[in-house]
Structure 1
Amino acid sequence: MSQPTDFPLHELPPVRFMASGSGLAFGEHAPSHRISFFAIVWFTESAGTHLIDFESFPIRANEVFLLGPNQVHSIPAPELPGSRTIVFAHEVFDRIDEPHLRQLFLPFENTGIRIPEEMVAPLTHIFDLILLECNGAADVTLLLKYTTALLTHLYRFGRHDRRIGEDHRLVKLFQLMQEHYRQEKSAAFYARQIGLTPKRINELLREKMGTTVSKLLYRLMLIEAKRELYHQQHSVKEIAYGLGFSDQSYFARFFKKQTGLTPEEFRSGVRVAK
């Protein structure tokens, strides 16, 4: 059995935007890592599987995955599959004007987006323009325009519900939940921030996603709990309090109900799997 080890945090060097045709801009050979930036990963060959926040996805040629800060990513295979990768900082992400494009990076849905065969060549040309600019003047304004064009096509190809992305209230809700879910657990808090009643927010979520504010908060807490348990820097008690639970036993019951495992069993399982 391997000894507990921390997985590395991959951060951008002192630049705001990077692109690579070899995948080296994206945490290269680390078996598991947490990222501090936004990433677009376009696999160019099929090769096994990879994991995003402990959920397994097949690696298929011309399938794209979009990741946000704090997500944990790993590729079990000994070598990286071919990929085209774009990574950028928060300040670049914040300049994306279209809420439905920012929605693509939310952690609620990590499924890859398949590029239709007839669009592989056109999108490759867009990526090549991004790569050319990165290796030249690196004008962030121009890079943002190219990246927005790429994201717009990916949004068209995706299987997500477009009604969500086109409703700025829900996009704002998701962003607020990501920022405040540790401290704020009530629908009333989020309702006040976007000018709706708690009842209306939940009506919108049930209509468009079949869920509620509470269920989405539980999902965010579960994702972060798994990350923290895997990270192994904090005790179960510290994780529980950090996520806003009143005591460790309440957190343990919540975690087991959602996963079928106690926090200790989950931590031991991922340790063995290393």
Structure 2
Amino acid sequence: MDVFNTNTLVNEQTGNLAFKLSNFEDNSQFDHIQRLNYYSIVWIREGRGKAKIDMVEYNFEPDTLFALTPYQPFMFIEEVPLKGTVLNFHPDFFCIHKHHQQVACNGVLFNNIYNSPFLKVDEMAKREFDGLFEQMYNGINTAGMAQYELLVSYLKIFLISASRIKAKQQPEVTDSVEEDEGPFVLQKLKNLIEQYFKSKHSAGDYAEMLNISPKALAKIAKSHFNKTMTNLISERIIIEAKRELYLTDKSVKQIAYELGYEDEYYFSRFFKNNVDISPKFYRDTVGFARANA
């Protein structure tokens, strides 16, 4: 636990954080809302409390690992003092969108609007993660040829392992459903949102397609995802908008149109209301991946 305090690599071209590994001994850096322009892996090793992520509150115990995306709002409220480890990396250092086929963590660790953004770290995982973090620490402090490739290799292994653990811990949400048709409705809802989020933005549209009342659908969404239908639809749109802003050089107007918004300024307001920054600022601070990058 005490082998490192803070170790950071900086992007020499932009001056921004590229990769950082650090320990924390209290909750001071997380006791207020964080909106960071890089990915954050926060491993709570000791302590317990509540995590506020987006608009949802989660209870957590020792050895809970959170995976958070750029500009995803989060904070921790401690009930027992917290200690742990934080791994941060910027999308310019390693973009999960570009490498999803290699690590398969997008939609498992990150950008999953239906499941909790955390996993439990058991003893076997603890030994594996500690070993990987030790290797990352050595990589940060050993400048030279292939430093980037070495760190990315360890990061990939970590993301793959954490994704596998989370997938085992959080299978499809089909348990404890009151209605007999519950599992079917949940899966059908997920499929419909995935199919129509670019063109259908109202909860009523999905209630109609599912042939149930908007009130019943709202109850299902709140009961099983702890979110409103508006939250679910909006979050899916935002994930796609962020992906387009990062991976392409499409104009905000074009992205807005492809996501079902004829008015670019209405879309920009929608994005800012959900992310707290404008699409342009998101692109400027997270960047878009150039073809040969």
Q: What range describes the TM-score normalised by the shorter chain of this pair?
A: 0.5 to 0.7
| 1:1-274 alignment runs, 5 A limit | 14-22=16-24, 28-29=29-30, 31-77=32-78, 81-91=82-92, 92-94=94-96, 96=99, 97-98=101-102, 100-103=104-107, 104-108=109-113, 109-137=115-143, 139-158=147-166, 159-161=169-171, 184-186=198-200, 219-221=232-234, 242-243=269-270
Highest RCO, 1 vs 2 (Cα 8 Å, sep ≥ 6): 1
**For residues 224 and 46 of structure 1, do their structure 2 counterparts lie closer, same or farther at Cα, with a shift above 3 Å needed?**
farther
**For residues 119 and 241 of structure 1, do their structure 2 counterparts lie closer, same or farther at Cα, with a shift above 3 Å needed?**
closer
* Alpha-carbon displacement from aligned partner over 1:29-79 (angstroms, at most 9, x marks no partner): 551121211111111112212211132222322221111112101122399
Work out the CA distance in 2 between the residues paired with 1:146 and 1:31.
30
Work out the CA distance in 1 between the residues paired with 2:25 and 2:68.
14
Q: Give ranges in structure 1 of 5+ residues lacking alignment.
A: 1-11, 163-173, 188-198, 200-209, 226-237, 245-274
How far off is 1:243 after superposition? 2.5
The count of residues paired between Structure 1 and Structure 2 equals 180
**For residues 23 and 39 of structure 1, do their structure 2 counterparts lie closer, same or farther at Cα, with a shift above 3 Å needed?**
farther
**For residues 160 and 216 of structure 1, do their structure 2 counterparts lie closer, same or farther at Cα, with a shift above 3 Å needed?**
farther
Work out the CA distance in 2 between the residues paired with 1:36 and 1:80.
26
Scaled by the length of structure 1, what TM-score is found?
Answer: 0.53
**For residues 31 and 15 of structure 1, do their structure 2 counterparts lie closer, same or farther at Cα, with a shift above 3 Å needed?**
closer
* Alpha-carbon displacement from aligned partner over 1:228-264 (angstroms, at most 9, x marks no partner): xxxxxxxxxx9887229xxxxxxxxxxxxxxxxxxxx
- Give the helix-richer structure, 1 or 2: 1
CA contact (8 A) 2:46 2:81 kept: no
**Matched residue of 2:46: which SS?**
coil
CA contact (8 A) 1:38 1:88 kept: yes
Work out the CA distance in 2 between the residues paired with 1:223 and 1:27.
31
Q: Give ranges in structure 2 of 5+ residues lacking alignment.
A: 1-10, 173-190, 202-208, 210-220, 239-264, 272-293
**For residues 102 and 111 of structure 1, do their structure 2 counterparts lie closer, same or farther at Cα, with a shift above 3 Å needed?**
closer
